[in-house]
Amino acid sequence: MAAYQENFFTRGPSPLARVTFFSLVAIVIMIADHRFGALSKVRLAVSLVITPVERAIMLPGAVARNVGDYFADKQQLVSENRTLQERVLELSAAGQQIRLVQAEKGFLQGLQAAQARFGGTGVMAEIVRDARNPAARKVIIDKGSSGGIKAGQAVIDGNGVVGQVTQVGVTTAEVTLTTEKDQSVPVMVIRNGLRAVAVGSGRDGTIDVPFIPLGADIQQGDALVTSGIDGTYPAGLSVATVSQVDKNPAVQFARVTAHPVGAPDHHRFVMVLSQQELQDYPRPDAGSLERKPGKDTPGKRDPRRGK
User: Do 71 and 40 belong to one domain?
Assistant: yes
For residue 112, is it within any domain?
Answer: yes
Q: How many domains does the chain have?
A: 2
User: Do 65 and 97 belong to one domain?
Assistant: yes
For residue 304, is it within any domain?
Answer: no
User: Do 147 and 206 belong to one domain?
Assistant: yes
272 forms beta bridges with 123, 155
Residues 6+ apart with CB under 8 A from 179: 137, 200, 201, 202, 205, 206, 207, 260
Where in the sequence is the domain holding 40, given as residue range(s)?
14-117
Half-sphere exposure in the Cβ direction for 10 (13 Å, CA): 4
User: Do 163 and 273 belong to one domain?
Assistant: yes
Residue 206 has pLDDT above 70, yes or no: yes
Residue 173 has pLDDT above 90, yes or no: yes
For residue 20, is it within any domain?
Answer: yes
Give the residue from 99, 117, 135 where a domain finishes. 117
Residue 3 has pLDDT above 60, yes or no: no
Residue 202 has pLDDT above 70, yes or no: yes
**What percentage of residues in the chain have a pLDDT greater than 90?**
24
For residue 3, is it within any domain?
Answer: no
CA angle 140, 145, 147 (to 5 degrees): 85
Give the residue from 75, 91, 117 where a domain finishes. 117
For residue 156, is it within any domain?
Answer: yes
Residue 127 has pLDDT above 80, yes or no: yes
Give pLDDT, residue 224: 94
User: Do 136 and 250 belong to one domain?
Assistant: yes
Q: Are 231 and 283 in contact (CB under 8 A)?
A: yes
Q: Confidence band (pLDDT; 50, 70, 90) for 213?
A: very high
User: Do 167 and 189 belong to one domain?
Assistant: yes
Mean model confidence pLDDT for the chain: 78
User: Do 193 and 264 belong to one domain?
Assistant: yes
Q: For residue range 59-85, what is the model confidence (pLDDT) as tens digits?
A: 888 888 888 888 888 888 888 888 888
User: Do 163 and 264 belong to one domain?
Assistant: yes
**CA 66 to each of CA 63, 69, 77: distance values in angstroms, whole numbers, following the listed order:** 5, 5, 16
**Of the given ranges (87-96, 109-118, 155-164), which has the lowest mean pLDDT?**
109-118
Position with higher pLDDT, 130 vs 102: 130
For residue 170, is it within any domain?
Answer: yes
Give pLDDT, residue 17: 83
Residue 299 has pLDDT above 50, yes or no: no
Which residues of 183-290 form beta strands (DSSP E)?
A: 184-189, 195-200, 207-208, 212-213, 223-226, 238-246, 253-260, 269-272
Q: Confidence band (pLDDT; 50, 70, 90) for 90?
A: confident
For residue 284, is it within any domain?
Answer: no
- Look up the CATH number of the domain holding residue 262: 2.40.10.340
| Highest mean pLDDT (candidates 13-17, 100-104, 150-154, 261-265) | 150-154
User: Do 130 and 229 belong to one domain?
Assistant: yes
Flag whether the pTM goes above 0.75.
Answer: no
Q: Confidence band (pLDDT; 50, 70, 90) for 296?
A: very low
User: Do 107 and 186 belong to one domain?
Assistant: no
